[in-house]
Structure 1
Amino acid sequence: MSPLQSEPQPFPHNFATVSRTAKAHQSSQPIPSIDDALDPPHPLGNPIRCMGSVENITERSPLLQQNHSTPRTHEPVNDVFQVGSKGKIQSSQIYWEELGILSRYTLPIFATQIFEYSFSAMSVVVIGHLSTVHLAAATLGMMTASVTGYSIIQGITSALDTLLPPAWTSETPHMVGLWSQRMIVMTALILIPIHFVWFYSEPILLALKQDPEVAHLAAVYLRYASLGLPAYSFNCISRRYFQCQGLFVVPARIIAVVAPLNAFLNWFFVYSLGFSFRGAPIATALSFNIVSLASILYAYFFVPRAAWIPIGRGVWQGWGVLGRLGIAGIGQTASEWWTWELIGLATSFLGRVPLAAQSVLLVTTAFLFQAPFSLSIATSVRIGNLLGEGKARRAKIVAHTSIVVAVAIGCIWSITLLVFRKRWAYLFNDDPDVVLLVTSILPIPALFQVFDMTTTVAGGILRARGMQGVGALVTLSAYYIIGIPLGLILTFYFNLHLTGLWTGLTAALVYSAGVSVWTGVVQADWEVEGKRAQARVESNA
């Protein structure tokens, strides 16, 4: 049974060790490992952790100390010193090892993403049976929620992708808990203006020339959906808290249990209790809160406490680096979300058939996107863990391996769409005009899958390196300087309609993939990145 299929077990060395025990360990020489040969000695010297003396214990000291000589990531890597025929370490074995690790990390993340995606999808399915107006209002409400709320939360919490994984494998694993606490407080403050926008969204939507009835119902949707916004924010943080410790299966298990319950609650509130339209956002909000409660209980009863720290004054420190990475994360993540919403808005001017076809294409690409996005999270965590351990060479190999996997996934998706392009639209719509239009345009999304997958995974590498700012610049320039302007020109000036929009998106992704791989992987100095990761952890420890 793989580590991801078993319950997390307490680490024997998670309990406090006295100074004399640590000193006794320092005198012994460890067996050389393949990572010792690949990477230079730890920049901080002997990585055995100890409390030192009683005087060193403060409110910011972790609840449980862990001996760093015991790995915090239990991966089936070969730690035997192996040398090739020319006296060099064989890298091919490490590639295969990391491929297996990334695969095991990615699968439960993918399950988590799909189940969470089902929360919104179930609301659409249930509301869609009420009326066309209700469906339009729910769509407008969810689009507004994504642009003004969910995308911002995802962006700001992406700072933890940089901070938590190296903290977990460093000499100060309690920083995982401290960074998480800081992010909870920061997002709580950010939610105040977001709630204000959601509660008073009706005049905003009317100012944007939306239909009055649709705008009113969308505002109702947002007010009830706001009940789940704090929980959604907390879930983004708790998920990263688990994942940085290698507990990828925990969020997947929790949300897999809640997802069927969410489907039942949507039906129950809308039809059985007679809440009608407002029942769907209430059910979704309740489901997010259940996920939050389950995460807290699981962390308290089943997860070792090495990553936790008592809440104290330290929660108000370190906001500079957290805010800098978070704002850059908004630029990297939210700007891409906004692009797809703008594309949907532009399509509304083309007519009923193009709008329906666009819906099919957007749902298709959103579903396929979950695979590389899951891989990007797995890559970010794995690289961060390795940088925290001082294993820069292996982190470099992980980056290269993930890009290869991204290209492979992109090729699979491309072939799948091309083979089934004449039947694909029938999964969503039976209108022959819509089916014909989807069939004619689908080769373009099929073509850019490789570039989309590569861009997404390279973005995860940039987050692991703390380069959200670079990722934001790449995303903004790709979509708002190249993709959207080119797409609009081809669509409305050259009358290429939907083909023009998707051609513009393809150009943006080709550019983004090339620049992201170049800056994130090719130009990376991984020894320097390891030192930077250690410095980020220690400067706020």
Structure 2
Amino acid sequence: MSATYIHYAAPSSLPSDYAILSRYAGHNSERNEGEESAIEDREESELLLNAEEGEERPGRRTSLTAPFIRPLNPTMAPITARDKSPAAVPTENTPLLNPLVPRIEEEVDSPGHDSETTPSERVWEEVKILVKYTLPVFGSHVLEYSLVVASVISIGHLSTTALAAATLGSMTASVTGLSIIQGFASTLDTMLPSAWTSSEPKLVGLWAQRMAVVVAASLIPILAIWFNAESILLLLRQEPEVAHLAGIYLKWTAIGLPAYAFNGISRRYFQSQGLFTVPTRIIMVVAPINALLNYLLVWGPKPFSLGYIGAPIATAISFNLISIASVAYGIFFVPRTAWHPITRRSFTSLGILVQLGLSGAAQVCSEWWSWELVGLAASLLGPATLATQSVLLVSASTTFQAPFALSVATSVRVGNLLGEENAKRAGIAANSSLLVTFAIASIASTMFMVFRNSWAYLFNNDPEVVKLVASILPLVALFQVFDGLGATTGGILRARGKQFTGAMLNLSGYYLVGIPFGLWLAFKRDMGLTGLWIGLTVSLVYVATTGAYLCLTTDWEREVEKVRARLAADKGTSPAMQSHA
């Protein structure tokens, strides 16, 4: 069986890397309601396409009548309920689209605030907002890792073959399914935040429903691959026993795939409204249940113990529990201002989601798959190199979660500001996120440099592995800045609807520049694993610097016009009519 890796930006990447490392260690120890007309649909699609292609052309339910349930975030209440506050009084600075609508209201968003502060104060204000948004997102991502970590750890103690099969199954799931779903769901980073702060917040629910339709259709070919995985893996010359167990792993994991897809949508539904803590609270409850299920279903007493298949069943149950809890939270504990009744409109304008979704999938998959190729190349360099690669990827996986969470927070903040037509603040928020990235990356880089000679002992005691890790960690420390910048600029591009640009950056950076260069250094210049990581560093430098340039030179007034056009299309009005409403 060839070694496999999952790019560390992805959910479940850390468990896969841990699995490979554990296998190596084990080897050593043993060795709009109603029907719409066709004309309206066509006009809507044309306006949406114009909004998304605007940069190349010249120039992401019914509200309750009374507060039956108290909102978790008091600032989420309609402004009409707070009409005595200064922020609720329309002025010449009040956005035309949404003078009296629900919003994620920050103190800095009050009319006239910017005229009373200096540029540096405005940057610092955005930094504090982004950090506030990032922390719960970071917590939810870390806890999400634990779901599959528990599965891999449970299987890892059964046998080396079982662990190898789980690793192969996890990699196959990510490459053929999870990365694609995440790519499509990333389109909601463009649609939802701006919809929430517009005059039609129920468009948040409408776009979420539309994405559910698109993702449901994409599950059909994914499930077909998963249920025929054994035959496919045998064609790829995997060991028969490992391929058989990996196929079983994928079949049982498939029980949780629809829930996994739904969770990606529901998480963005909450986050776009500023309810960042909701997904975190849910997963905080499910994570320990998942650990208990893994113990009972894999190692527990009869009749609970199922052995190998117990781990993927436990993970699938956990994904479904998250979905059930998300639905319950949305119905009973969150005001349904963002919800749109399920109508035939849920099946309209799917083309724009498919278009953006394909670009988003290309953006995510091109990055995930590139790390698979590097892992495969590393497996050809020997067991010590393979273990070193695992140590490095587990380490980078952990430190990457902070800038990745920041990228999600940035997408929401920038998208909300674009929906409010606050172009100036959107630019400040985007630029401030880059500063926060530098601060986060500096901490990680310093940690790797200070502990580079002893870092490997956290994972393995092999002297060769310890030495090799110490020699490559300075490279890992160097690219922390560029890796973080790549994540943050990716979030800004998603907020702008530029998934295609992000995909082109990743494809060119990894497949035309970094990976070929790294392979040449590794095998032609005999630099081994160091050469591969130099290639990865070059890729990240290219992607990050180019992405940062695109973000710093953004015309934010034009981005507001694009958002206005998209929102006008969903309301059946022209942008000109909306801007003068």
Aligned to 2:406: 375
The equivalent position to 1:303 in structure 2, one of 328, 334, 341, is: 334
On the 8 A contact 2:75/2:104 being kept in 1, the answer is no
Distance 1:201 1:11, change over 3 A: closer
Aligned to 1:538: 568
After superposition, what is the alpha-carbon deviation per residue over 1:39-69, rounded to whole angstroms, capped at 9, x for unaligned? xx64xx4634xxxxxxxxxxxxxxxxxx32x
> Does 1:432 find its partner at 2:463?
yes
On the 8 A contact 1:163/1:537 being kept in 2, the answer is no
Cα drift, residue 74 of structure 1: 2.5
* Aligned mates of 2:88, 2:137 — CA distance in 1: 38
Cα drift, residue 13 of structure 1: 3.5
Aligned to 2:119: 91
* Aligned mates of 1:444, 1:192 — CA distance in 2: 41
On the 8 A contact 2:97/2:421 being kept in 1, the answer is no
Q: How does 1:97-496 map to 2 (within 5 A)?
A: 97-272=125-300, 273-496=304-527
Aligned to 1:513: 544
Cα drift, residue 83 of structure 1: 7.7
Aligned residues: 495
Query: Partner letter of residue 98 of structure 2?
Result: P
On the 8 A contact 2:205/2:339 being kept in 1, the answer is yes
The equivalent position to 2:73 in structure 1, one of 1, 5, 8, is: 8
On the 8 A contact 1:380/1:463 being kept in 2, the answer is yes
On the 8 A contact 1:8/1:302 being kept in 2, the answer is no
Cα drift, residue 321 of structure 1: 1.4
In structure 1, runs of 5+ residues without a counterpart are 1-5, 49-66
After superposition, what is the alpha-carbon deviation per residue over 1:155-176, rounded to whole angstroms, capped at 9, x for unaligned? 0000000000000000111100
Cα drift, residue 122 of structure 1: 1.1
Q: Aligned to 1:210, what secondary structure does the other structure show?
A: coil
In structure 2, runs of 5+ residues without a counterpart are 1-70, 572-581
* Aligned mates of 2:552, 2:432 — CA distance in 1: 13
* Aligned mates of 1:283, 1:159 — CA distance in 2: 29
> Does 1:47 find its partner at 2:47?
no
Cα drift, residue 537 of structure 1: 2.1
On the 8 A contact 2:98/2:197 being kept in 1, the answer is no
Using the size of structure 1 for normalisation, the TM-score is 0.88
Query: Partner letter of residue 404 of structure 1?
Result: L
Cα drift, residue 534 of structure 1: 1.8
With 521-530 and 239-248 compared, the bigger mean Cα shift is at: 521-530
Cα drift, residue 536 of structure 1: 1.5
Aligned to 2:67: none
On the 8 A contact 2:415/2:495 being kept in 1, the answer is yes
On the 8 A contact 2:189/2:268 being kept in 1, the answer is yes
Q: Aligned to 2:546, what secondary structure does the other structure show?
A: helix
* Aligned mates of 1:81, 1:384 — CA distance in 2: 21
With 99-108 and 75-84 compared, the bigger mean Cα shift is at: 75-84
On the 8 A contact 2:191/2:207 being kept in 1, the answer is yes
Query: Partner letter of residue 235 of structure 1?
Result: N
* Aligned mates of 1:422, 1:437 — CA distance in 2: 10
Cα drift, residue 9 of structure 1: 4.5
* Aligned mates of 1:338, 1:405 — CA distance in 2: 28
On the 8 A contact 1:14/1:306 being kept in 2, the answer is no
* Aligned mates of 1:328, 1:506 — CA distance in 2: 24
On the 8 A contact 2:418/2:563 being kept in 1, the answer is yes
Aligned to 2:29: none
Aligned to 1:523: 553
If asked which structure has higher relative contact order (CA below 8 Å, sep 6+), I would say 2
On the 8 A contact 2:78/2:103 being kept in 1, the answer is no
On the 8 A contact 2:97/2:420 being kept in 1, the answer is no
Cα drift, residue 495 of structure 1: 1.0
| Seq. identity, % | 53
Cα drift, residue 12 of structure 1: 5.2
* Aligned mates of 2:561, 2:269 — CA distance in 1: 22
Cα drift, residue 78 of structure 1: 6.5
Query: Partner letter of residue 30 of structure 1?
Result: V
Give the 4+ runs in structure 1 shifted more than 4 A: 9-12
